[in-house]
Amino acid sequence: MIIIIHSITFCQEKQKNYCNNCCVAVKYLWYFKYSEAFMARRLICSLLFISIIIMSCFACQKETSSEESEKSSYISESAVQSDTQKEESIPSEGSADKSNFYIMFIDVGQADASLIMCDGHYMLIDGGNVADSNRIYSVLKSRGVKHLDYVIGTHAHEDHIGGITAAFSACTVGKVFSPVTEAENVPFNNFKKAAQRQGLSLDMPKLDTVYTLGNSRFTVLAPRADYVDVNNSSIVLRLEYGDNVFLFTGDAERESEQAMLNAGCNLSADLLKVGHHGSNSSSTYAFLREVMPTYAIISAGADNDYGHPHKEVLDRLNDADAKVLRTDKSGGIVCYSDGQELRFEYGVDDGNVSYKYIGNKNNGTLHTTQCGGLPKEENREYFVDLEDAERVGYTKRCSNCMGN
């Protein structure tokens, strides 16, 4: 537009001095002359503009590269920190020795057994079925437990006290708690006899009394009445370590849960050992509202005949926003605490110890593992050393493998 305007202006100014053809010639001459100058200027400007753009791009690219480098470095450091934190949050095998507090939820299938350690002091809550005796013994031996401050049989059902006799074989025991002193079943009577061999009796713990285990303490909250139902007679205890709280309920069902609610018991806990293997007979909404656990541990056998844990209970725990951990899914579970935070280890199996002696439960005779006259598997009791065997009454030696 500028070129055309200038050309027209020139013609108008020169018309009087030139003929039409000259005017046209002059007009186009000036047009091309002016156009060449303009194009040159435009070309120079364009080159300058392009140069500025290119330089700006390089500068932006450099800044972007710098930012990306910093970002990459930050992400890399974050990833390393995240991996480190992940490794620290899941303790490796043997880290129990470095911890001042842990709870091992022993994988005993469709049964219950928990070992608690605080500052080198130990407590065993339940011991699984009779068939789990060897596992209980192995756990205690592999973890170096020589003395149990407390052995607690929450109630008189075999899946809780059947294998607890192994504790008296592996260790010396301080106190034994049970909600009853008499029960009409063989596993309970064996539990009682095992305690008596160490000069101990089965004591009923006092309600709302505080007991200590190292720097932790626990309070017995139930049973709060004499129940006909054995499950409701379960000992319930609330364990505190630092700011962390753990609630163990045995097989306590609705009736016992309601009794604790009516009594105004402090039930809040970070971790709930879910009652009765996750049965719908336990863990009511009213109870869970008071507990409000962050974690819920369920001890149950894989594909068990009872369908534990029941869907209704899992739904209620989900509504309570509790993270559910199960021995039928994860195997043995160890919970570590520093008094502030909880961390977990899964698939823990402390069942690998070397046995040297086998006792015959029927006649009280002790054999070496190489003896040709060993009893049937269901009648065997395994020992690492003679001291353990003698502690539970195996004073008779097999004449074939051990002499008289």
Residue type, 263: A
Bridge partners, 298 (sequence order): 326
Average pLDDT for consecutive 10-residue bins of the chain (404 residues)?
38 41 40 44 56 51 40 30 32 48 98 98 98 94 97 98 96 98 96 96 96 98 97 98 98 99 99 98 98 98 97 98 97 96 92 85 93 90 90 91 82
pLDDT for res 22 = 43
Residue 247: count of CB within 10 angstroms of its CB = 26
What is the per-residue pLDDT for 47?
Answer: 59
Angle between helix 2-14 and 20-89 (nearest 10):
160
Homologous superfamily assigned to 105-348? Ribonuclease Z/Hydroxyacylglutathione hydrolase-like (3.60.15.10)
pTM score, whole prediction: 0.73
Q: In what order do the strands lie in the sheet with 114-118?
A: 172-177, 147-152, 121-125, 114-118, 101-105, 332-337, 342-348
The angle at the Cα of 226, spanning 207 to 278, to the nearest 5 degrees, equals 80
pLDDT score at 79: 32
- Residue 90: its pLDDT value, please? 36
In the three-class reduction of DSSP (H, G, I as helix; E, B as strand; rest coil), residue 257 is classed as helix
Copy the structure tokens of residue 23: 């005017």
Q: What is the pLDDT of residue 377?
A: 85
For 239-253, the DSSP string reads EEETTEEEEE-TT--
pLDDT computed for residue 41 by the predictor: 54
Q: What is the pLDDT of residue 31?
A: 39
